[in-house]
């Protein structure tokens, strides 16, 4: 079966049951030693072995992850709008981004906050930074957290479900190998979606220019 560090960690977590899953998902938001998709795949595999029910495991990890997301959001918000804007302006200057462009980005984020908050929870690594982005871009707390909760539940259900069904299809499931394989597929899928989206936007821009002329 080979080396399986994620599987080993999951065996430790399973000793504490659903409380262990909640704590692991909460901690992953601040100390992502185990990537969330790897953790969730192992959760699904353990569910197929009878360690816990799949719905209860998905709910426990989703609540833990959401609590971590909300904690991060409110901790950063405690800095205050003025200090947050100073930090954002400083970072923008380092990146060579003008203040006008930053204001445009803030306005754009507010218009599409719900879609972005949901979508960012489906992007590896970026999902951990989404609460910080939301605060710096002056996102509405209720709208952001509601959309994030839906995104977190979708993310948890997807990977736990993959782990659950993979365990039934494959006799000996190595959580670590499965996690790396699935992450590669997810990144390829998201790259493809991003490429298609940009192509559509480019075609629309060309069409608008042609129509005006």
Question: For each of the chain's 213 residues, which pLDDT tens digit applies?
Answer: 455 666 666 777 777 889 999 999 999 898 877 778 888 888 888 888 788 899 999 999 999 999 999 999 999 888 887 787 777 777 667 766 666 777 777 777 778 888 889 988 988 888 888 888 888 777 788 889 999 999 999 999 988 988 888 777 765 555 566 666 766 776 677 677 677 777 776 676 665 555 555
Cα separation values, 60 from 11, 66, 112, 114, 157, Å: 17, 10, 29, 24, 11
Task: Give CB contacts under 8 A, 24+ apart, made by 137-141.
Answer: 137/88, 137/105, 137/106, 137/109, 137/110, 138/81, 138/84, 138/106, 138/109, 138/110, 139/109, 139/110, 139/113, 140/110, 140/113, 141/73, 141/74, 141/77
Question: What is the C-alpha separation between 206 and 201, in angstroms, rounded?
Answer: 9
Question: What is the C-alpha separation between 111 and 139, in angstroms, rounded?
Answer: 10
| DSSP, res 2 | -
* Contact (CB, 8 A) for 195 and 79: no
CA 179 to chain centre: 15
**Total number of residues shown for the chain:** 213
pTM of the predicted model over 0.85 = no
């Amino acid at each position: 079966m080979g080396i399986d560090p994620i599987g080993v960690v999951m065996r430790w977590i399973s000793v504490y049951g659903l409380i262990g899953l909640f704590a692991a998902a909460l901690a992953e938001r601040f100390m992502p030693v185990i990537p969330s998709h790897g953790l969730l795949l192992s959760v699904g595999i353990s569910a197929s072995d009878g360690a816990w029910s799949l719905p209860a495991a998905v709910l426990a990890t989703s609540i833990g992850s959401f609590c971590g997301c909300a904690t991060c959001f409110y901790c950063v918000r405690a800095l205050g709008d003025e200090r947050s804007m100073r930090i954002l302006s400083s970072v923008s200057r380092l990146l060579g981004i003008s203040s006008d462009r930053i204001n445009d980005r803030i306005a754009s984020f507010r218009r599409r906050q719900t879609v972005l908050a949901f979508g960012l929870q489906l992007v590896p690594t970026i999902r951990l930074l989404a609460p910080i982005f939301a605060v710096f871009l002056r996102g509405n707390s209720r709208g952001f957290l509601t959309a994030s909760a839906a995104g977190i539940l979708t993310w948890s259900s997807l990977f736990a479900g993959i782990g659950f069904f993979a365990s039934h299809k494959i006799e000996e499931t190595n959580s670590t190998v499965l996690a790396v394989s699935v992450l590669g597929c997810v990144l390829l899928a998201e790259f493809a979606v991003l490429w298609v989206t940009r192509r559509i936007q480019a075609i629309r821009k060309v069409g608008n220019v042609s129509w005006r002329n």
